[in-house]
C-alpha cells in the first residue's frame, strides 16, 4: 500500500468517526428534548391550571397566585387580576369607594401613587385616571376604555390584562398555549431607552410621565441635545418618526397621536406621521376618546373638532365644559361631556346651551360623529349647590341612572333628559341627593317645606333606569 492510499484511509476513518460523534450528539440532544417534553406534558397534566408569570424576565409566584381565568363568549381565555392586591404589590395605595367621595362602597375602588390615581367601577368598561404631575385639578380624569368590564369575584374587584397594563404602565404579552404571561415594567423600558439614546447620541428622553408611557407603544419622545426641540423615534429600530423640530410634544395614548406645539400653536399628528389637526390652535384637549372629539380654542373662542380636524361645533363660544368640583358625589369624572352624550357650552352672554353627541355607522362601516344643538331655551346654570347642611346630603348635577341633568332658569331648578326634554318643569327651589346606608335618593323642594322624591315622579311618567 502506498502513502496515498494510507492517507485516504486515515481521512475516511476520521470522517466516519466525526459522523458517529455527530449522530451520537444528535441522539443525546433528541433524548434530552424528549425528556423535557415528557416532563412538561406530565407537569401540565398534574398542574392543568398552572400559569407562569414572568416579571422583567423572572418568574413571580406572587402574581401567579393572584390571577384567575374566565372564558370569553368567543372561547378565548381571559386573565383577571385583583386590583387592590396588584396595588399593594406595586406600591400603590388602594381604597374602597370613589376617589374624593367620603363614602365607602363595594362597587368602586381606586388606587393612588405619587403621580397617578385610577378608579375602577364594577361592570364598567371605563377606567378613569388622572396624571397628578400635569393636571392641576384633582377632579378631571382621563378616560381609559377597555374591552372587558371590571368584574367581582368573591367580593373582590378584578381587572383583565388590558386594564392591568394600561393602569399600571406595563407591557404584557401572553402565550395562551403555554399559559405564560410576560410582564415588563415601564421603568425597565425607560432604562433601556435612555441607554439607546445615550449610546447613539440621539438626545435625551422627555421627562413628562405621559410621554414616557409612549415607550409602551414602541415610541420614544426625545429632546434634542443641540436645539432643545422635541421629536419622536421608534423604540425598537431608532427610526425617526417626527423630527426634533417642535417646541413641545404631548402623547395622546388613547389615539396613538401626538399633540405638537410649534410657534405657540397646537396641532395633532398621529404615529403614522399623518397631520390630523393643523397647528393653528391655542389649546387642544381630548374630551371624548370614544368619539375622538377635541376641545379647540383660538383667539378666546372655543369649539369642538373631531380627530381628523373637522369642525363639529364652531369656535364661537366662551367656554366648553362645566365645573364639577362641587359634584363629586354624583360620580362625575369630567365636565366636558355629561352622561357620555351631552356637551355643555357657555355662550358669550353667560348663558348655557347643550349639544348632543350622535354617532351613526355609515354603509362602509365608518362612524359618522355629529354634535347637534338641543332645541331648548338658554339656561342660567347647570347643577344645584344646595344650602342644606348634612353629612348625608350632597349637591346634584346629574342622575346617571336615568340620564338626567339638573338645570337652572330664572332662579328655579328643573330636570332635563338627554333629548332636551324638561321633565317636571323648572319650578323647584333646590335639588339634592341624600345617601344613607349605601342607598341614594334624589329630592327636589318647592314652596314652604314641600318636597318630592324625584325618581318616583320619573317613574310615574314612564322613565326607567338606563342600561
Q: Are residues 77 and 163 in the same domain?
A: yes
177 lies in the same domain as 59: yes
Q: Are 397 and 408 in contact (CB under 8 A)?
A: no
Average pLDDT, the chain: 88
Out of 186, 206, 224, a domain closes at: 186
**Does the residue 238 lie in any domain?**
no
Same domain for 102 and 41: no
Together in a domain, 72 and 136? yes
The confidence score (pLDDT) of residue 40 equals: 46
Let me know whether 93 and 28 are in one domain. Answer: no
> Do residues 334 and 328 lie in contact, with contact meaning Cβ atoms separated by under 8 Å?
no
Strands in 77-82's sheet, in edge-to-edge order, are 68-71, 77-82, 156-160, 151-153
pLDDT of 141: 82
How many domains, the chain?
2
* 110 and 181 co-located in one domain: yes
**In terms of pLDDT, which residue wins out, 390 or 397?**
397
Identify the domain boundary among 170, 186, 202.
186
Between 421 and 465, name the one with better pLDDT.
Answer: 421
Which domain, by its residues, includes 31?
A: 11-48
Nearest to 387 by CA among 324, 452, 443, 432: 432
Q: Are residues 83 and 29 in the same domain?
A: no
Same domain, 108 and 147: yes
Q: Are residues 42 and 162 in the same domain?
A: no
Assess whether 36 and 69 both reside in one domain: no
Kindly state the average pLDDT of the residues 248-277.
Answer: 95
Confidence check: pLDDT of 288 > 70 = yes
Q: Is 249 a member of any domain?
A: no
- In this structure, how many other beta carbons lie within 10 angstroms of the beta carbon of residue 359? 13
| Contact predicate 243/262, CB 8 Å | no
Specify whether 23 is located in the same domain as 86. Answer: no
Tens of pLDDT, residues 98-135: 887 766 777 899 999 999 999 999 999 999 998 888 76
Most confident of 50-59, 70-79, 94-103, 234-243: 234-243
Residue 114: inside a domain, yes or no?
yes
Is 456 part of any domain? Answer: no
DSSP H helix total and E strand total for the chain: 7, 37
- Enter the C-alpha cell of residue 173: 404579552
Phi and psi torsions of 389, nearest 5°: -105, 115
Question: Which pLDDT does position 26 carry in this prediction?
Answer: 60
- Looking at the domain assignment, is residue 320 inside a domain? no
Q: Check which CATH number belongs to the domain holding 163 and give it.
A: 3.30.457.10
Q: Determine, yes or no, domain membership for 154.
A: yes
Asked if the model's pLDDT at residue 81 lies above 60, the reply is yes
Q: Do 166 and 63 have their domain in common?
A: yes
Q: Which pLDDT score is estimated for 277?
A: 97
Q: What is the pLDDT of residue 107?
A: 87
Domain membership of residue 382 (yes or no) is no
Mind giving me the DSSP string for 158-194? EEEHHHHHHHHTEEEEEETTTTEEEEEEHHHHHHHHH
Residue 76 banded pLDDT, cuts 50, 70, 90: confident
Q: Are strands 230-234 and 430-436 parallel, antiparallel or unpaired?
A: unpaired
| CA–CA distance, 408 with 344 (Å, rounded to integer) | 13
Residue 43 maps to a domain: yes
Domain end call among 163, 186, 209 = 186
pLDDT confidence band for 458 (50 / 70 / 90): very high
Amino acid at each position: 500500500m502506498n502513502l496515498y492510499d494510507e492517507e485516504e484511509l486515515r481521512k475516511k476513518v476520521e470522517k466516519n468517526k466525526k459522523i458517529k460523534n455527530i449522530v451520537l450528539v444528535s441522539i443525546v440532544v433528541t433524548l434530552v428534548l424528549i425528556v423535557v417534553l415528557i416532563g412538561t406534558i406530565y407537569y401540565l397534566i398534574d398542574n392543568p391550571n398552572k400559569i407562569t408569570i414572568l416579571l422583567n424576565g423572572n418568574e413571580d409566584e406572587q402574581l401567579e397566585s393572584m390571577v384567575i381565568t374566565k372564558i370569553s363568549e368567543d372561547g378565548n381565555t381571559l386573565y383577571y387580576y385583583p386590583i387592590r392586591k396588584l396595588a399593594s404589590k406595586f406600591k400603590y395605595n388602594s381604597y374602597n369607594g370613589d376617589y374624593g367621595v367620603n363614602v365607602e362602597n363595594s362597587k368602586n375602588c381606586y388606587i393612588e401613587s405619587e403621580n397617578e390615581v385610577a378608579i375602577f367601577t364594577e361592570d364598567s368598561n371605563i377606567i378613569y385616571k388622572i396624571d397628578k404631575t400635569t393636571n392641576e385639578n384633582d377632579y378631571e380624569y382621563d378616560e381609559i376604555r377597555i374591552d372587558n368590564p371590571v368584574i367581582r369575584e368573591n367580593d373582590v374587584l378584578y381587572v383583565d390584562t388590558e386594564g392591568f397594563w394600561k393602569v399600571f404602565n406595563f407591557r404584557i404579552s401572553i402565550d395562551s398555549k403555554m399559559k405564560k404571561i410576560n410582564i415588563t415594567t415601564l421603568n425597565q423600558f425607560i432604562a433601556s431607552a435612555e441607554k439607546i439614546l445615550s449610546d447613539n447620541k440621539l438626545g435625551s428622553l422627555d421627562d413628562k410621565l405621559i410621554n414616557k408611557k409612549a415607550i409602551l407603544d414602541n415610541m420614544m419622545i426625545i429632546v434634542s441635545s443641540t436645539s432643545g426641540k422635541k421629536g419622536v423615534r421608534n423604540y425598537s429600530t431608532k427610526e425617526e418618526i417626527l423630527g426634533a423640530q417642535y417646541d413641545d410634544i404631548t402623547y395622546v395614548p388613547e389615539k396613538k397621536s401626538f399633540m405638537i406645539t410649534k410657534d405657540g400653536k397646537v396641532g395633532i399628528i398621529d404615529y403614522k406621521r399623518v397631520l390630523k389637526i393643523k397647528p393653528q390652535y391655542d389649546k387642544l384637549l381630548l374630551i371624548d376618546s370614544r368619539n375622538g372629539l377635541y376641545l379647540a380654542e383660538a383667539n378666546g373662542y372655543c369649539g369642538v373638532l373631531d380627530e381628523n380636524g373637522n369642525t363639529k361645533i364652531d369656535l364661537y363660544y366662551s367656554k366648553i365644559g362645566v365645573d364639577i368640583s362641587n359634584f363629586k358625589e354624583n360620580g362625575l369624572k369630567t365636565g366636558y361631556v355629561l352622561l357620555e352624550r351631552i356637551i355643555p357650552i357657555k355662550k358669550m352672554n353667560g348663558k348655557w346651551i347643550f349639544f348632543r353627541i350622535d354617532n351613526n355607522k355609515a354603509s362602509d362601516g365608518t362612524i359618522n360623529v355629529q354634535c347637534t344643538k338641543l332645541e331648548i331655551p338658554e339656561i342660567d346654570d347647570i347643577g344645584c349647590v344646595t344650602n342644606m347642611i348634612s353629612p348625608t346630603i350632597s349637591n346634584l348635577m346629574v342622575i346617571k341612572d336615568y340620564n338626567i341633568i339638573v338645570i337652572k332658569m330664572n332662579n328655579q331648578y328643573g330636570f332635563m333628559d338627554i333629548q332636551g326634554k324638561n321633565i317636571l318643569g323648572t319650578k323647584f327651589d333646590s335639588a339634592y341627593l341624600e345617601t344613607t346606608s349605601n342607598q341614594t335618593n334624589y329630592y327636589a323642594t318647592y314652596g314652604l317645606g314641600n318636597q318630592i322624591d324625584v325618581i318616583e315622579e320619573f317613574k310615574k311618567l314612564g322613565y326607567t333606569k338606563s342600561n
